[in-house]
Structure 1
Amino acid sequence: CFWHLWHDLRGFFNWSTKEYIVIGRILSILHGTRLCKYHITDNNSSIGFQYVQAMLFAIEEINNSTDLLPDISLGYKIYDACVSIARGVMVALALANGDEVVSAPSETFSSPCMAIATVIGPFHIPLVGKIGKNETICSLLCLFIYTSIIGFHLYFCQISHLATCACLSDKTKYPSFLRTIPSDYYQSRALAQLVKYFGWTWVGAIRSNDDYGNNGMATFTETAQQLGICLEYSVSFFRTDPPVKIQKIIDIIKASTSKVIVTFLSPSEVYVLMHEFFYHNLTGYQWVGTEAWIFDSETAARDRHHILDGAIGLSIPKAHVSGMREFMLDVKPLNSSSNELFAKFWEKLFSCKFNKSKSTDGNQRECTGHEDVTGVQNSFTDMSLMPIFYNIYKGVYAVAHALHNILSCNKACNNTVHLDPFTCMVSIKKKKKNRSLQRILLIVYLFMQVPLSVCSEKCPLGTRKVLQKGKPVCCYDCLRCAEGEINNITDSVTCVRCDHEFWSNERRDACVKKEADFLSYEEIMGALLTAASLFGTCMTAVVAFIFFRYRQTPIVRANNSELSFLLLFSLSLCFLCSLTFIGRPSEWSCMLRHTAFGITFVLCISCIMGKTIVVLMAFRATLPGSDVMKWIGPAQQKLSVLGFTLIQVIICILWLTISPPFPFKNFKTFKDKIILECALGSSVGFWAVLGYIGLLAVLCFSLAFLARKLPDNFNEAKFITFSMLIFCAVWITFIPAYVSSPGKFSVAVEIFAILASSFGLLICIFIPKCYIILMKPEKNTKKNMMGKGAPNKHLSLCS
């Protein structure tokens, strides 16, 4: 299991004038249980030889260069680690000590590069290798210095081209580890971003139970959680695990609901999963993999049942080095049938045999050692691993440039820089670093439609996420936003409350301006109330015209015509003041509506009270020696009306001066509407106005009630009593209705109360008289008005 090549590619025999630097290399070519006695396989041996050729190509280019290490020749030394941790450590120590390696016991496959790095790391010997990803365990570039002047000295500056485990970035444990391939830290984060890009928030995870899988999946899990991705399950296994453990993993996958599987596996472990998935008929899963198996052409070749169809992942970027492919296919420098390793490789490559004996199969031809490699289609001629070859190429050049800088400084600087391990490693680190993840998608997405893998569907607009108790954050219910709240972002966890002048629409995904609600002329209720107001005004005008037309008749004269016309005028104002309550509230309308209403109604009631007092006093004046009539003449009646009204005017002026009504936007009564209303300003002023009207109404009703049974054929006190009864009933019921009615309905109630009381006064007091005037003119006589039992002075007093 030992392969040792010593080759000086330039000036090998000019020992007296040149220094010689030897590149050492450890890799796995053969596979076995003890002393590497397994048969060589085409794929693995081909990869090993390809790695060797890539290193030799870089060495030959450097040796042929007149600019880089012009006085130095590079050679190489190669050892096979045989997929063994123990052997890897032993050959590394052999390189460090300059010893030959004869044999080493084989052990189970684990993380050999970490073992080697742990052993030689304290000596600042950088490790090159790949941990737990495929069967090429660990490649170690070792730098040997040989000079004819100072004798043989050995120094190490190593660079990895395959070791991607993020754990090796811990410089406290592996201070001398360098590499030309990005750490899996970047690949893990990129895979999480890739999963997020496709909208997969509910995924499963399978990893190798080694440093590569555990560290890579840990970084992926951390990043996934930051991106809102949940892992339904995360399991680990090793390809040598017993069937019972693998069956448990299959059972977990069967019971899962996620359709995406993120993997940190080696190709050999993927082969195991492919077989198990086919055996249990598990299909329809979307595989997301690392470059360890996504980049492996053998994996695709073995997937005969299309278990991995549609798999996506990240790959090392494509690379091209001029002349490398031709050099790698030219294996003449290695062509030696006496070399056992080369012989086995050549026989496997061309299906032939060296030194063919009689016992050999007669159908198998004899190897000549000069077969044309370019005409063979197998893993050796497959250049899909060119990006890895390029990493080897860069590693050799990194060592060469570091040495060149050190040796050039020795010539130009005053102080000599020694070629010790630490100095070599520091010089290599000063090369330009590129920490970005330069990887590309390797496998083309094969499905017609991106599969869905979520625990819960995305919450649509107008809803918010509510976590399900005891489940991961990716499992949630979607609740509709409350009234007045919206959410215009899919999958949001909160709803936003609209501004106080806005309200949520029906879908709860946008705020719309609240409807301004007020009693307008355009709506049916406003139009009807307006019509009723105008009708009452016109009706009052007709009555006034009739009374004016028949002003000389006994019935008009008997009812105090001056107060009657003043009452009709005040009633028309009462009908018209209701119009100030309709329409959008403004400053002038708010101040006018209640004050105009209050003053006109006081004027109206004052006139009725004057008429009631006249009727009552007329009959009291018939008593002997009574002189009350001198106190209720026309002048006194007018002054009483003016006095009662003036009090209301003063109240209104104080109200408007101290705290007048004003337009107000009410956001509280209705959540989805803005009620445009008139704030009272001073509630004391408002209730003072109403209270004064109520006081006069009660007083007028009481006087009319006292005069209701006076002997007369046409006693006006009866009609006044009935009219004031209606007036009081309307306004008593108005108060609770007004308080309980919301928005514009409270305004409508107030208008209705104004119109109802106005119509009550107009109809009860004037319509009976109009009926006598127009329909029963024979009753419109002085004799009829005097009536039986009426005093002789009645008519003259009322006139």
Structure 2
Amino acid sequence: MVIALSQLNGCITRYSQQATNIQHFASYIEQTNSASHQIWPSIEGLFYRAWISYGLTETSLNERDEFPYFYQNFPSDYSHFHGLTPLLRLFGWSWVGILTSTDENEITYCEELKREIVRSGGCVDFLESLPDTMTTFREEVEKRSEQILNKIYKSKANVIIIHTTKIIFIETFCLISYEKIDTKLFVFSMETSSIKSKALTVTPLICNALNGSLRLTIPKGDIPGFKDYLQNSNYSTFMDQIVLLLRPEFECGFLNDKENCTRSETLSTTDASLFDMNNYELTYSLYNMIYAMAHALHNLYTAKSQRGNSIKMEFKPWQLNQYLKEVHFKAPDGHEIFFDEKGHAPNHYDIIQYFHFPNLTTAWIHVGSFKPSAPKDKQLFVNLTAIRWKTPSNQVLRSVCSESCTHGYRKVIDREKPVCCFDCVPCSEGEYSNTTDAENCKKCPEDQWPSEKKDKCLPRIIDFLSYDDPLGAALSSISILLFIITALVLGIFIKYRNTAVVKANNRNLSYILLISLMLSFLCTLVFISQPGTLTCLLRQSAFGMIFTIAISSVLAKTVTVVIAFRANKPSSKLRKWVGTRVSSYLVLLCISGEIVICTVWLIISPPFPEYDTQSVTGKIILQCNEGSTIAFYSVIGYMGFLALLSFTVAFLVRKVPDSFNEAQFITFSMLVFCSVWVSFIPSYLSTKGKYMVAVEIFAILASSTGLLGCIFTPKCYIILLRPDLNTRGHLIGKKVS
């Protein structure tokens, strides 16, 4: 693939139609060469040191210090396969296979390609070498081929890269892959695309697997007069200029009449595919490089002639090298030809898709290009609409080890597998992912919660016990109903305040107890609404003091019964304590303790509203933080202490004469009260949100109803339904049972 003198001699005169001075110079070289050889020793000496490659070369020739006079149209630094990795990334092909021959250089190339794919974030499922029948026994080839085919068939890699420069490899592959792996897409490296094997052009039907394959190729261009030249050339002339073609396998046997081949037939009688310009990429590259050399020689000749020097004088190698560095012209297709400081001409690669049809015709569709010298984000261009995929609805082919993790999932990589193979697990509670293949899930803000699919955050539902809630509406209705009932009882006691039943059990304490029960029923309404600073301050403290008044009144009633019973005995010292003052003082004393506890609580650590985002999934619980848990349970504990004290005293005097049988009712009421609040504590601690508030409201209503029912129901029964029993004589006449 390096330009020789005979090539330059024959080609410049045929294709230098772009500039008159180039034509004259080419004609001069041809005439001088035919007339005498006086100039050629000098020029040959120049070419001994100045070389231009019109194709790919060995990597070792890329060292500029060692080969300062070596120029090339395509760099020999693996940059051409760098176009493969952007192509894989563009279509998301992260899981691919590589096929090559058993040639050591090609295996080394593929190993480097594999490393490049891994560096770019992809993975290679396999790298296999397919033996050929030229170097391996047929049985071994068949066995090895079957193994490779099975691996390709079973692999999740739907994209296979083929790299080889051996025609026999393609022919062997076509033979063994017939209709077995036609769902895979094969991507050819540039070297593989350039061989144009017979297996693809002469017998396309046996290469069904390669139909629709993508290829990186040297860009083709228009060579003026080249096609006419080929068609009018005979076999002998064609063989002399064979270096111009990419079909070195051409021989007389390709002609229509093999038996009467005289080697003088024109090539127009051959297969039309011979003149397809898609087959002459390297020829076009050679065409441009010959012109580059011609420009350098012309500039050298012009410079010498302008100084009056003879063109027959000897030239030094470095002199032509200097003019090669300065070459800069436009090719017929508009591309600029010049050499950079590394001796590389600007280049790019075409991406084509190959098709063959049952009528033995082929199609090469240009679908993109790759320009290594362009900015990184503009190196690759692909016309997505021009590609035809082997998938339903012409969808882009998928080639991945694991399908992408969708929104709401994150990737979990198994260290024992390649990074392209992973599992997708749902995001944890309170987390979401809105990107594909998310490494980690994100937490939603405090006021938001992931959607059902965990692909976005939604505003949390603010949860609190409201009047619109069925539970809140039911509890508030019961509270109002009990308040009305208590108010009616109070009205009855006020109306019948002078009757024996009302007067017998300290009617003032009865009024205080009924009013405190009414307030207790009403205070539950403070619990049913959106918690605010004021409501949080009032809830527990108001309930604690109001309920303490009720319990203190019950305790005072019990103590009054004891004093009244004991004062009836002769010489009793309790006679002086009979009256209303003792009960009033006792109520004030008991309520003072609760006031002190609540005051200290509100001063040191008052309750406040807060948002709880942890207790209930997907909700924000708007609740009151009690501030000090110790203070809260101290309030409840103080009421419990008073209730237990009342229960104890009432239980001890439960068998007093019937005139004072209120002690029995107090005993039952305190039993109900204590049962409710003992069960309240575990229930309160085991619930969250609005249900925790509902438990406390229920405890308040149940205990208050217990007091109202046990203490006042019997009295209302006598007052309203048995007025005959509501007399002083009847009460005094009762005997101890």
Task: Tell whether the structures are fold-level matches, with TM greater than 0.5.
Answer: yes
Matched with 2:129 is 236
Give me the CA root mean square deviation.
4.2
Alpha-carbon distance in 1 for matches of 2:564, 2:235 = 149
CA contact (8 A) 2:432 2:443 kept: yes
Alpha-carbon distance in 1 for matches of 2:239, 2:657 = 154
Task: Using the TM superposition, give the Cα deviation of residue 227 of structure 1 relative to its aligned residue in structure 2, in angstroms.
Answer: 4.3
Paired residue type of 2:220: K
Q: Secondary structure at the match of 2:462?
A: strand
CA contact (8 A) 1:54 1:328 kept: no
Match of 1:391 among 277, 280, 285: 285
Q: Does the alignment pair 1:272 with 2:172?
A: yes
Range 374-383 or range 699-708, more displaced:
374-383
Range 603-612 or range 161-170, more displaced:
161-170
Per-residue CA deviations over 1:428-486 (Å, capped at 9, x if unaligned) read: 34535565633232425363535544433433333333345643333333333333333
Q: Does the alignment pair 1:301 with 2:163?
A: no
Alpha-carbon distance in 1 for matches of 2:91, 2:130 = 27
CA shift in 2, pair 1:163/1:686, >3 Å: same
Matched with 1:191 is 84
CA shift in 2, pair 1:392/1:67, >3 Å: closer
Paired residue type of 1:447: K
Q: Secondary structure at the match of 2:20?
A: coil
Matched with 2:630 is 684
CA contact (8 A) 2:50 2:70 kept: no
Per-residue CA deviations over 1:535-585 (Å, capped at 9, x if unaligned) read: 211111111121122222111122222221111110011111112222322
Q: Does the alignment pair 1:447 with 2:395?
A: no
% same residue: 35
The 5-angstrom pairing of residues 21-60 of structure 1 reads 24-25=4-5, 56-58=13-15, 60=16
The 5-angstrom pairing of residues 87-126 of structure 1 reads none
Match of 2:470 among 524, 527, 546: 524
Matched with 2:569 is 623
CA shift in 2, pair 1:248/1:627, >3 Å: same
CA contact (8 A) 2:479 2:701 kept: yes
Match of 2:20 among 65, 69, 73: 65
Paired residue type of 1:628: L
Alpha-carbon distance in 1 for matches of 2:725, 2:666 = 20
Paired residue type of 1:269: F
Paired residue type of 1:395: M
Matched with 1:250 is 146
Task: Using the TM superposition, give the Cα deviation of residue 500 of structure 1 relative to its aligned residue in structure 2, in angstroms.
Answer: 4.0
Q: Secondary structure at the match of 1:702?
A: helix
Range 289-298 or range 531-540, more displaced:
289-298
Q: Secondary structure at the match of 2:473?
A: helix
Task: Using the TM superposition, give the Cα deviation of residue 764 of structure 1 relative to its aligned residue in structure 2, in angstroms.
Answer: 0.8
Matched with 1:130 is none
- Structure 1 or 2, whichever has the larger Rg, is 1
Paired residue type of 1:251: Q
Q: Secondary structure at the match of 1:681?
A: coil
Q: Does the alignment pair 1:285 with 2:285?
A: no
CA contact (8 A) 2:99 2:160 kept: yes
Range 462-471 or range 166-175, more displaced:
166-175
Q: Secondary structure at the match of 2:205?
A: coil
Task: Using the TM superposition, give the Cα deviation of residue 614 of structure 1 relative to its aligned residue in structure 2, in angstroms.
Answer: 1.9
Provide the TM-score with structure 1 as the length reference: 0.73
Alpha-carbon distance in 2 for matches of 1:412, 1:757 = 123
Match of 2:407 among 461, 468, 483: 461
Range 66-75 or range 212-221, more displaced:
66-75
Alpha-carbon distance in 2 for matches of 1:501, 1:739 = 25
CA shift in 2, pair 1:777/1:409, >3 Å: farther
Q: Does the alignment pair 1:735 with 2:681?
A: yes
Range 727-736 or range 478-487, more displaced:
478-487
CA contact (8 A) 1:229 1:474 kept: yes
CA shift in 2, pair 1:442/1:595, >3 Å: same
CA contact (8 A) 2:561 2:660 kept: no
Report how many aligned residue pairs link the two structures. 666
Alpha-carbon distance in 1 for matches of 2:494, 2:61 = 114
Per-residue CA deviations over 1:154-192 (Å, capped at 9, x if unaligned) read: 443221112166565354675554321355733322223
Alpha-carbon distance in 2 for matches of 1:673, 1:384 = 67
Matched with 2:376 is none
CA shift in 2, pair 1:384/1:25, >3 Å: farther
CA contact (8 A) 1:294 1:443 kept: no
Matched with 1:159 is 52
Alpha-carbon distance in 1 for matches of 2:679, 2:397 = 69
CA contact (8 A) 1:662 1:678 kept: yes
Alpha-carbon distance in 2 for matches of 1:339, 1:755 = 111
Task: Using the TM superposition, give the Cα deviation of residue 251 of structure 1 relative to its aligned residue in structure 2, in angstroms.
Answer: 1.1
CA contact (8 A) 1:202 1:229 kept: yes
Per-residue CA deviations over 1:405-427 (Å, capped at 9, x if unaligned) read: 566677899xxx99544554465
Alpha-carbon distance in 2 for matches of 1:398, 1:212 = 30
CA shift in 2, pair 1:67/1:275, >3 Å: closer
Per-residue CA deviations over 1:641-698 (Å, capped at 9, x if unaligned) read: 2343233223222221221101122233334433322111122322332232222222
CA contact (8 A) 1:146 1:153 kept: no
CA contact (8 A) 1:68 1:404 kept: no
Q: Does the alignment pair 1:776 with 2:731?
A: no
Match of 1:603 among 534, 543, 549: 549
CA contact (8 A) 1:309 1:446 kept: no
Q: Does the alignment pair 1:438 with 2:335?
A: no
Q: Secondary structure at the match of 1:742?
A: coil
Task: Using the TM superposition, give the Cα deviation of residue 598 of structure 1 relative to its aligned residue in structure 2, in angstroms.
Answer: 0.5
CA shift in 2, pair 1:345/1:466, >3 Å: closer
5+ residue gaps, structure 2, are: 308-312, 327-337, 356-387
Alpha-carbon distance in 2 for matches of 1:301, 1:334 = 23
Alpha-carbon distance in 1 for matches of 2:28, 2:193 = 38
CA contact (8 A) 1:182 1:435 kept: no
Q: Secondary structure at the match of 2:4?
A: strand
Alpha-carbon distance in 2 for matches of 1:346, 1:627 = 145
Task: Using the TM superposition, give the Cα deviation of residue 252 of structure 1 relative to its aligned residue in structure 2, in angstroms.
Answer: 2.5
CA shift in 2, pair 1:272/1:726, >3 Å: same
Match of 2:500 among 554, 557, 572: 554
CA shift in 2, pair 1:618/1:191, >3 Å: same
Per-residue CA deviations over 1:97-143 (Å, capped at 9, x if unaligned) read: xxxxxxxxxxxxxxxxxxxxxxxxxxxxxxxxxxxxxxxxxxxxxxx
CA shift in 2, pair 1:152/1:146, >3 Å: farther
CA contact (8 A) 1:352 1:366 kept: no
CA shift in 2, pair 1:340/1:456, >3 Å: closer
The 5-angstrom pairing of residues 78-227 of structure 1 reads 147=39, 153-155=45-47, 156-163=49-56, 168-171=61-64, 176-181=69-74, 185-210=78-103, 213-227=106-120
CA contact (8 A) 1:191 1:313 kept: no
Alpha-carbon distance in 2 for matches of 1:396, 1:238 = 38
Q: Secondary structure at the match of 1:748?
A: helix
CA contact (8 A) 2:448 2:459 kept: yes
Range 371-380 or range 698-707, more displaced:
371-380
The 5-angstrom pairing of residues 441-520 of structure 1 reads 441-443=352-354, 445=388, 447-449=390-392, 450-468=396-414, 470-520=416-466
Task: Using the TM superposition, give the Cα deviation of residue 387 of structure 1 relative to its aligned residue in structure 2, in angstroms.
Answer: 3.4
Alpha-carbon distance in 1 for matches of 2:243, 2:443 = 76
Alpha-carbon distance in 2 for matches of 1:690, 1:314 = 84
Matched with 1:725 is 671
Q: Secondary structure at the match of 1:66?
A: helix
Q: Secondary structure at the match of 1:640?
A: helix
